[in-house]
Amino acid sequence: MAKFVHSMIRVLDEAQSIDFYDRAFGLKVAERLDFEGFTLIYLSNAENTFELELTVNKDRKEPYETGDGYGHSAFVVDDVDSEHARFEEAGFSPRKLVDFQHEGRKLARFFFVQDPDGYQIEVLQKQGRYR
């Protein structure tokens, strides 16, 4: 079997991205690898072993285009309502809370937020298949 260990996104401003992911999701720098033309920053927390890899290309001056193939990443939280309020207080501009249903059954309660580079992140209430 294969184990899914990380996902990578390209970011323009290292400090701004590290600050956002720390304050929003408690992700801390697990490792930072500096190369001549780029830097790799691995972010994680105690909740799981999966990591977010930030790639900073040193010669990049313009924001990245996320394209139409990118969807979103997702985080599960214990209390999505209090997290939504915390995100608002932090100035992260979360979108509205949504109760998502399928055939009359509640599948999820969530909201979306955008990181400093425009990547969409879904924040889900811990329930059902989202654990």
Contact 108, 101 (CB under 8 A): no
Active site residue 47: no
| Residues 45, 21: Cα–Cα separation, whole Å | 10
Of 51, 53, 83, 122, the catalytic one is 122
Spell 100-118 as b/e; 16+ CB within 10 A means b.
Answer: eeeeeeeebbbbebbbbbe
Catalytic residue numbers read: 122
